[in-house]
Amino acid sequence: MQLGCLWTLQLNLAPLVTMIPDKDKLIQFLLYRIDSKSVILSVCAQMLVPGKQASLQSLAKVYDMLNVTYKQFLDSESQVTAGESTTNGVNRKVVIEQSDMFTHVFSVFEDYKDIKYKFVVAILIEYIRSLNQFNIPVQHYLYELIINVLVHNNCFYQLHQFLQYHVLSDSKPLACLMLSLESVYPPAHQLALDMLKRIQTANEEIIEVLLSKQQVLPALRFIRSVGIVDNVSSRKFLEAALNINDNMIFYTVFKFFEHRNHRLRSNPRFQTGEHCEQYVKQFEVLYGTDALMPIQ
């Protein structure tokens, strides 16, 4: 009978951070080590700290290394969801997701107020560039972080350029954020509206934005342009028109929906379920019952 000993070797990864000065090689090495996620995030954060800041070129390489693995992981998850088998080695690598970078890396921008905002913007844009390169959908909180940095530093022209040339991709959360900035940057309202129109699945949001700005007639033109006249709530438009305190606008909106009712049901009257009774009464007060479209 022979006896033998079996040994396992467990690396202490923390000292390697100072032992391997080349951060590209260090990250590449750590990606294949078990339980290295916290060390990788710490290294990425240190590369942004004043006095230790890495070059944009070096950061770009690191982000690409992280995101190629991230993309492989996402593809593998999609295949598992679809019931397909996976054979790649992504499970052997540590995966750094956008939420990890946002929480543990880009948080250094709050800890070190002396980091120049131009550097912050450049880093975030570079990380987003890398995500886009690997066709990874960018989470809206990264865009919000860039916008907040630009607004805080009054860089509205640069923000306008980023949106106009789609450096920041269109999304409903981003459009809502832009709407909230109207008080400090008035063009943000139109930028948000244009973004919602490009999304093409945000008709309700566009209507709400226009009505909230008392742009009732443009809202009518919009629903006509996208072919949803038959589906919108007449009550919502009549309420907005009445709140403007402009009788002509109220008259126009009321007649618009009277004609819609007649076209759809051969009857201009509003149905009970539309809850428009108060607006009919207001119309009668202003213009009399004779002004109502007759029932044929």
Clarify whether residues 121 and 25 are in a common domain: yes
**Do residues 20 and 113 share a domain?**
yes
Q: Are 244 and 216 in contact (CB under 8 A)?
A: yes
**Which of 81, 116, 138 is the last residue before a domain boundary?**
138
| pLDDT given for residue 85 in this prediction | 57
Please tell me the predicted confidence (pLDDT) of residue 82. Answer: 66
Tens of pLDDT along 97-136?
999 999 999 999 988 888 999 999 999 999 999 999 999 9
CA distances from 272 to 223, 246, 269, 296 (A): 23, 26, 9, 19
Range of the domain at 58: 15-138
Q: Which residues of 241-257 are buried (b: 16+ CB within 10 A; e: fewer)?
A: bbebeeeebbeebbbbb
Place of tokens 């054979």: 87
pLDDT tens sequence across 243-285 = 999 999 999 999 999 999 999 999 999 999 999 999 999 999 9
Tens of pLDDT along 146-204?
A: 999 999 999 999 999 999 888 999 998 899 899 889 889 999 999 999 999 898 888 99
Residue 289 carries which DSSP code? G
State the Cα–Cα distance between residues 192 and 205, nearest whole angstrom: 10
Q: How confident is the model at residue 139 (pLDDT cuts 50, 70, 90)?
A: very high
Main-chain phi, psi angles of 140, to 5 degrees: -65, -25
Of 196, 293, 205, 286, nearest in space to 241 by CA: 286
User: What residues have CB less than 8 Å from 173, skipping those under 6 apart?
Assistant: 140, 144
Q: In this structure, what token pair is assigned to residue 9?
A: 């070797």
Q: Scanning the structure block, which residue is given the tokens 């940057």?
A: 185
In this model, does residue 90 exceed pLDDT 70? no
Report DSSP letters for 98-114, one per residue: HHHIIIIITTHHHH-TT
Angle at 179 between CA 176 and CA 180, to 5 degrees: 95
Identify the domain boundary among 138, 154, 183. 138
**215-231 residue pLDDT tens:** 999 999 999 998 999 99
Domain for residue 131, yes or no? yes
Distance between CA 198 and CA 269 in Å, rounded?
35
Task: Tell me, yes or no, whether 256 lies in a domain.
Answer: yes
Tell me the one-letter amino acid at 191: L
User: Residue 4 has what pLDDT?
Assistant: 77
Residue 238 in any domain: the answer is yes
Name the band, by pLDDT with cuts 50, 70 and 90, for residue 88: low
Task: Determine, yes or no, domain membership for 170.
Answer: no
Domain count, the chain: 2
Same-domain status, 127 and 34: yes
Is residue 130 one of the residues assigned to a domain?
Answer: yes
pLDDT at 239 over 80: yes
Is the pLDDT score of 19 beyond 80? no
Contact call for residues 233 and 225 (beta carbons, < 8 A): no
Shared domain check, 19 and 134: yes
Q: Look at residue 86 in the predicted model and tell me its pLDDT.
A: 56
Residue 42, CA distances (Å) to 49, 68, 107, 196 in order: 11, 19, 11, 38
Q: Per-residue pLDDT for 9 more than 80? A: no
Residue at a domain's end among 138, 171, 188: 138
In a domain, 188, yes or no: no
Whether 89 shows a pLDDT value over 60: the answer reads no
Residue 185 CB partners (closer than 8 Å, separation 6+): 151, 156, 159
CB within 8 Å of 11: residues ≥ 6 apart? 33
**Is residue 180 a part of any domain in this protein?**
no
Q: Which residue has the higher pLDDT, 27 or 15?
A: 27
Task: List all residues 6 or more positions away from 188 whose beta carbon is below 8 Å from its beta carbon.
Answer: 178, 179, 181, 182
pLDDT at 159: 94
pLDDT of residue 1: 67
Q: What would the pLDDT profile of 35-82 be if each residue is shown by its tens digit?
A: 889 999 999 999 999 888 999 999 999 999 999 999 999 998 887 766
Length of the chain: 296
Q: Is residue 34 part of a domain?
A: yes
pLDDT of residue 2: 72
Q: What is the pLDDT of residue 93?
A: 82
